[in-house]
Amino acid sequence: MQAAQTTIDDAEIAKFEAMAAEWWDPNGKFKPLHMLNPCRLDYITSQIAAEFERDLSAQSAFQGLRILDIGCGGGLLSEPMARLGATVVGADAAPRNIPVAQIHAEQSGLEIDYRHTTAEAMAADGEQFDVVLNMEVVEHVADPLAYLTACQQLLRPGGLHICSTINRNAKSYAVAIVGAEYVMRWLPKGTHEWSKFITPEELYKLISDAGLNPVDKKGFVFNPINWSWYLSSRDLSVNYVTASVKPK
């Protein structure tokens, strides 16, 4: 378990521990994720379908795929993957998140393997997955390169890594911190640290240095008129997502 201590930031874990009970409250502290989730899922499912030649209109479209949702929280992404037929492991370094996720999955009639563990510990155990979902986590770890390297090690050759985070610029500070935490009060103050945000160029280099090949990036853009999110090929100024593959 020594390697498991390389990227955990205890202060970051404590923030999400304090909010664990509210994961499935659409109007609670995770309201922004509930609002963003349909857009995230559109990107994730389309990338997986394209990479593994799956028909999303088919029942159990992801059957036979083993998917890791690292930093799973309460299971907002794990559950849709399980409904699509994938074998899902949800992992989180915050122990209080796991029983919340387990209870909700049971109530939903879903079998999901939830674990209180880290990417490093799972990589050390030789775990292998077709897909690693790494959403809104990399900006909370102590060593992004070591963390992404562990994610790469968890992928089978030809596997798909999907990683989202927040850009670092004046706009992201105004929107993700001032707007979300102080004005709208969607998140508790101090949830994010602007200095830990990562630009798309920096993330692409980190992903490449970790041994993955970046293949796509898109922005998650909020439309205040219809109060919803959409994907953008050009606007990566605040929230954005990347796809990369492990060489075969």
Q: Is 69 among the annotated ligand-binding positions? A: no
Per-residue pLDDT, 15: 61
- For the cut 60, the answer to whether the pLDDT of residue 144 exceeds it is yes
Residue 129 forms beta bridges with which residues? 155
- Which position has the token pair 């659409």? 26
Q: Which two tokens stand for residue 3?
A: 């390697």
Per-residue confidence band for 17, with pLDDT thresholds at 50, 70 and 90: low
- For the cut 70, the answer to whether the pLDDT of residue 195 exceeds it is yes
pLDDT tens for 231-240 read: 999 999 999 9
Q: Is 158 among the annotated ligand-binding positions? A: no
Sign of CA dihedral 69, 172, 144, 157: positive
Q: Which two tokens stand for residue 80?
A: 């849709």
Q: Which two tokens stand for residue 101?
A: 């996720």
Q: Is 85 among the annotated ligand-binding positions? A: no
pLDDT tens for 111-129 read: 999 999 999 999 999 999 9
Q: Where are the alpha helices (DSSP H) in the chain?
A: 10-17, 31-52, 78-83, 97-107, 119-124, 144-153, 170-172, 200-209
Per-residue pLDDT, 1: 32
Q: Is 135 among the annotated ligand-binding positions? A: yes
Distance CA(219)–CA(200), nearest Å, equals: 10
Is the separation of the CB atoms in 229 and 222 below 8 Å? Answer: yes
Distance CA(239)–CA(199), nearest Å, equals: 10
Estimate to the nearest angstrom the gap between the alpha carbon of 27 and the chain centroid: 20
